[in-house]
Amino acid sequence: MEPLRVGICGLGTVAQGVLKVLQNNASGIRRRTGRQLEVVAVASRTAKPEVDLGGATFSTDVMALAARDDLDVVVELIGGENTALALVERALANGTPVVTGNKAIVALHGERLFALAAANAAQLGFEAAVAGSIPIIASLTEALAGNEHDWLAGIINGTSNFILSAMAEQGQSFADALQRAQELGYAEADPTFDVEGVDAAHKLTILTALAFDAGFRFADVYTEGITKITADDMEYARELGYCIKHLGVARRRPAGIEARVHPVLVPQDHLLANIGDAMNAVLVHSNAAGDTLYAGPGAGALPTASAVVGDLISIAQGRSRLPRMASAEALRILPIDEIETAYYLRIPSLDQPGAFARVATILSDCNISIEAAIQREQTAPDAGEGRWVPIVILTHVVKELVMNEALIRVQALPEVVGEITRIRVEHFAGAD
């Protein structure tokens, strides 16, 4: 068969990884696909003469590359949103298949892009957009396609997982763990998208669309980061039998689909609790397959390049992976007020008699049951009226709206001298 002629837009770490994988594994790829995957053109806004392009031509005009008629597939690896979106749209409108690792454009514009791809008989591969080397897109759209999914939960941002792991295992503060992540290259100089949960929300949007036919509805995904988690929270969670992970959670309910990204207390013996460092993992519970766990490196040049090359091979073999668009009957994404979970609460309170009792009374009045509590003497900063101590409470399952109302009342108590920390608790035990 004729070679698959590939054009790559971008020349950053992932693009260089793709070039390396295609060069190093050329014989095996050719043997498995019956075709050679040949990079014939590379375009990047900045030239990098030190990078071996393997004989491909180079240009600084990425948009021109997307409009070429002599390419069989365009790989978009420039990042960002606006230029990348325009580039992908131009290639698809030209009838040229596209492979992208850009989770933002898929999450924010997925329905338009897939409609454009379908209208022009072009494939759109996006395995690299979620969880690096983990084949979760292929699993949801192919291997698990015969299942109805009850829920999925994932550690889908390696930076946040690295930070929380360092805080839990080494007792580091959030600031120190973040600095270490930046030194190792896991976190950007501006880590906002990672630590505030935006990156994970982009990925959960894609997973929710594929698993539940819910459409690409990023604006409806509840998003919360990890910046308020402290080393004390890690210690209290451990004492209660949990660890803290930053998860993307999607779950089918009778009234709609939950889609939320936030810190979660997970039992210490749970599969996801043991995914440390900068690793990613996605756990899917399906009605036929049961629990399936996918774990591996979620970022990095070669792991992400592996996913890109996998999509190129699918295109070379003529396999399409376009998801079905959401129908008019698609279930809505539930607002966070309607979800039900258990909760961990850390309440900074003056060290006075009766403080815990007053908190417990408010929770009881709101029909919130306490499963466990920790209150101990400890030295703490002066609040102006004496020492304060944290009241730590683990509740049973309750609706978020009810918990919100209770916390407003607790926060108003004169003994409460700081912002209450609230972390949701999940067990993920079979179908809910």
- With beta carbons less than 8 A apart as the criterion, state whether 259 and 220 touch: yes
> Is the distance from CB of 136 to CB of 238 less than 8 angstroms?
no
203: annotated active-site residue: yes
Task: State whether residue 266 is helix, strand or coil.
Answer: strand
* Distance from C-alpha of 346 to C-alpha of 326, rounded to nearest angstrom: 40
Question: Tokens at residue 189, please?
Answer: 């100089």
The one catalytic residue among 103, 203, 245, 399: 203
Cβ burial of 375 (10 Å; 0-12, 13-18, 19+) is: middle
Q: Which helix (H) or strand (E) holds 217?
A: none
Check: CB of residue 32 under 8 Å from CB of residue 4. Answer: no
DSSP string, 360-412: HHHHHHTT--EEEEEE------B-SSSBEEEEEEEE--EEHHHHHHHHHHHHT
The structure tokens listed for 299 are: 């970022």
Measure the CA–CA gap between 424 and 265, rounded to whole angstroms: 6
Query: Active-site positions?
Result: 203
